[in-house]
Amino acid sequence: MKSVSCPATTHRTDEWQSLPGATVEVRRRGERYRCALVEDAMPDASGVWLAADGPYGRELIEKAEGYEIWTTLYPRSHTSECS
């Protein structure tokens, strides 16, 4: 099974509740944490469940823990693109 690859061009988003089914890049403290498929999201956008992939198990990522999600979908207003 091939591991999930990060999208080539992404931007930060706060619309986490809209991400189930999307492949995203997760960052923490400015560093890439992992790329993953979002399985589910909290209705209030406070967290998402990332699908198991290769050595990574299914994982809950929460905004309150300092994680950011970068995606090709749902841009946060006026954020710059990153590749």
Provide, rounded to the nearest whole percent, the portion of the chain with pLDDT above 90. Answer: 66
Closest CA to 4 of 64, 81, 76, 71: 71
The average pLDDT across 42-48 equals 97
Residues 59-75: what's their mean pLDDT?
90
Quick one: CATH architecture of 11-71? Roll (2.30)
**Cα–Cα distance, 55 to 3 (Å, whole number):** 9
Closest residue by Cα to residue 65 from 29, 39, 21 = 29
Q: Are 12 and 25 in contact (CB under 8 A)?
A: no
Domain boundaries, the chain: 11-71
